[in-house]
Amino acid sequence: AQKITQTQPGMFVQEKEAVTLDCTYDTSDPSYGLFWYKQPSSGEMIFLIYQGSYDQQNATEGRYSLNFQKARKSANLVISASQLGDSAMYFCAMRELGNTDKLIFGTGTRLQVFP
């Protein structure tokens, strides 16, 4: 059974600093995708970044990068130069290649950025 684990219920970071949000996963499928979503207090789910299991390089999207360590089954999100607007819940999710297309989500990490 596939599983996503986010061990940090809450994280604090000072503005302009970098922060790493942890995510580990468990799957027996060799083909899968890993996603990070942001959920601000307004409630919407915002897609941030994607990493495929066969991707050779770590994904980057602006200030977001994914530290993908396949052997350790971890896909940590790194946010550089934190901004106050980064305060939100962050969810790691996984999709196995196949026809179900469903995302399995972790329990989330609440990030608070302080001035």
Partner 1 sequence: DTAVSQTPKYLVTQMGNDKSIKCEQNLGHDTMYWYKQDSKKFLKIMFSYNNKELIINETVPNRFSPKSPDKAHLNLHINSLELGDSAVYFCASSHTSSDSANEQYFGPGTRLTVT
Per-residue contact flags (x/-) with partner 1 for residues 18 to 37, judged by CB under 8 A:
-------------xxx-x-x
Coil vs helix vs strand at 73:
coil
Residue 46 or 81 with smaller CB distance to partner 1: 46
Rg from Cα positions in the chain: 14
Q: Does 100 bind partner 1 (CB under 8 A)?
A: yes
- The rounded distance, in Å, linking the Cα atoms of 50 and 33 is 7
Residue 44 or 115 with smaller CB distance to partner 1: 44
Coil vs helix vs strand at 85:
helix
Task: Please select the residue that binds partner 1; options are 1, 28, 41, 44, rule is CB under 8 A.
Answer: 44
